[in-house]
Structure 1
């Protein structure tokens, strides 16, 4: 079986671990990772979602904090702050900074983000193939009510999404194309899975890459999404703020409607809802999307793997 996963953030990394555990040695998994929250900081290129998934698959992530490397130190970050460089509220761990320096050096040498990510995967046996959604720089900006803009990471990390967003922008997206291998992987897949990542700032940028929605609509694979909303609440992060900003209720059926049915110019064939949201099955199926009820709490890798199995069965 060939499986393609669209993922980003901590939810995406947990789900990807479940994909690896659920599939057998004869199966193939390709994970298309959100790069919309990438940024340049202190002269180095950061790819937070890419690194979260790489570190999780390698078993070196800081599961307690939810980001960065386990057992990391912050001496370089402290020195940067002493020089008044970087963002004092955005911590770069020393081991994590090593990743950013290596990436930046390879980019300066002329490698593409796809080639850089392929090189990163040579260090650890990750068990899946990772591809960026695009090689273009399409960082996410938040537009506030007064028309001012700030990078997504400042809004998310510094302000904890407390500033009401008016819109989300990805400068350069109109000229972007899917990274090499992405469209081909989707076309050749047996199943495409949408991880329970933030629908707006994790999955949203992936779907916004020109040609991505068309690839999902045209593939012979079934496209199955997993709700990151359980009981009308987000599992982690501030996805509810993002959803409210684009006029979508924080409900599993509302997010399914946001993605839409493939039979009605959307992208979904099936949608997994939590047991707590079983009463929403009729509303989801009224959209032309098959609804499947399953336990959706990703408490550990085994639980995530059961969610993946339910999605594959759908």
Structure 2
């Protein structure tokens, strides 16, 4: 069994690749919930939805998020009424949020609700929120602290980011399904997908004891860098790294995960960094990491799994 930690479009693509080469019982996608927020009275879980829609084959191929063939009559009507339209909810996507909010109001956990939505969408592989407890990524800018979606969508990532806080993480518990999977004798590897390290993976790692639980699983932990040639494939990862005082590079991603990961997957564009990554005590793999087409996802997934097996047989050293 493989556990994939994911968030965002890049993470969803690799999860989709893993799902293409692994049967449902052998993959658990654990998804960031730090981006979740309440909007128009509805619980919106952007990363969970991106992973679910991608696995269902219904994600918008142009954006990677949202649904293909979406319509916007609700937002148009809301705008005419003077409502908030800075965070756009498509007509089909709206149904997901309405259903999720209703089930949560009935007392169902986010894990239970996600399983129900996946079943309705025809997603066979398991998708799990990182926690059933609320964790919210907060962004510190010169004006103060704002919610992540306010920074990311309303403000288009334009303010200089001064720091991040994962509100609620200190009291959050990992989802029960994640704890069970980490203790499963069938577990063979943990994959950190090419997701933003600060926005998609850090909220999960911020939960008390989470890093220790991942290390205690005693299986290879392999990260795929979301930075290629000093740039983020999608999203503000490179900008955030610069504003936090780090050079945006695959090497910096490896440094960020040092002590947690055994291996790091770099793109061919960053092959020259492989020796520096190895010097950190992290095994490097250089391959094509940009997933342009669906076949790229499955190919990269197979290479990551083979790399994890190789790392398990020849560990680079104690973490």
TM-score, normalization by structure 1? 0.94
Equivalent position SS for 1:181: helix
Other structure's SS at 1:4 match: strand
Looking at structure 2, the residues matched to 71 and 312 of structure 1 have their Cα atoms a distance apart, in angstroms, of: 33
Does structure 2 conserve the Cα–Cα contact (< 8 Å) formed by 1:183 and 1:212?
A: no
What are the within-5 Å matches in structure 2 for residues 84-233 of structure 1? 84-86=82-84, 88-146=85-143, 148-188=144-184, 189-233=187-231
- Please say if residues 178 and 211 of structure 1, whose CA atoms lie closer than 8 Å, have aligned partners that are also in contact: no
Shift >3 Å, 4+ stretches: none
1:53 aligns with: 51
| Aligned counterpart, 1:289 | 282
Query: Which residue in the other structure is 2:66 paired with?
Result: 68
User: Is residue 11 from structure 1 mapped to residue 10 from structure 2 by the alignment?
Assistant: yes
Check conservation: 1:274, 1:293, Cα contact below 8 A.
yes
> Contact 2:229 / 2:249 at 8 angstroms: preserved in 1?
yes
| Preserved CA contact (<8 Å) 2:230 2:238 | no
1:263 matched residue in structure 2:
none
The whole-number CA distance in structure 2 between the counterparts of 1:313 and 1:166 is 39
**Cα displacement (A) at 1:27:** 5.7
How large is the Cα RMSD of the aligned pairs?
1.4
| 1:187 and 1:220 in contact (8 A); partners too | no
Structure 1: tracts of 5 or more residues without a match: 261-265
- Return the alpha-carbon distance in structure 1 between the equivalents of residues 159 and 59 of structure 2: 29
Shift in Å, 1:143: 0.9
Q: How far does residue 26 in structure 1 lie from its aligned partner after superposition?
A: 8.0
TM-score, normalised via structure 2 length: 0.92
Q: Which moved more, 1:188-197 or 1:62-71?
A: 62-71
What's the offset of the Cα at 1:67?
1.8
Q: Is the contact between residue 24 and residue 124 of structure 2 (CA under 8 Å) also seen in structure 1?
A: no
User: How many residues matched?
Assistant: 305
Return the alpha-carbon distance in structure 2 between the equivalents of residues 295 and 27 of structure 1: 27
Contact conserved, 2:53 with 2:59, CA < 8 A, in 1?
yes
Secondary structure of 2:280's aligned partner: coil
Q: CA deviation at 1:233?
A: 1.2
Q: Is 1:187–1:221's contact at 8 Å kept on the other side of the alignment?
A: no
TM-aligned CA deviation for residue 157 of structure 1: 1.4
Residue 132 of structure 2 aligns to a residue whose secondary structure is coil
2: CA distance between counterparts of 1:15 and 1:110? 32
**Per-residue Cα deviation, 1:6-60 (whole angstroms, up to 9, x for no partner):** 000111111111101122x486100000000000001000000000110111111
1:191-230 per-residue CA deviation (whole Å, 9 max, x = no partner) reads 1100001111011111112232111111121101111111
Q: Give the distance between the partners of 1:164 and 1:187, measured in 2 at CA.
A: 41
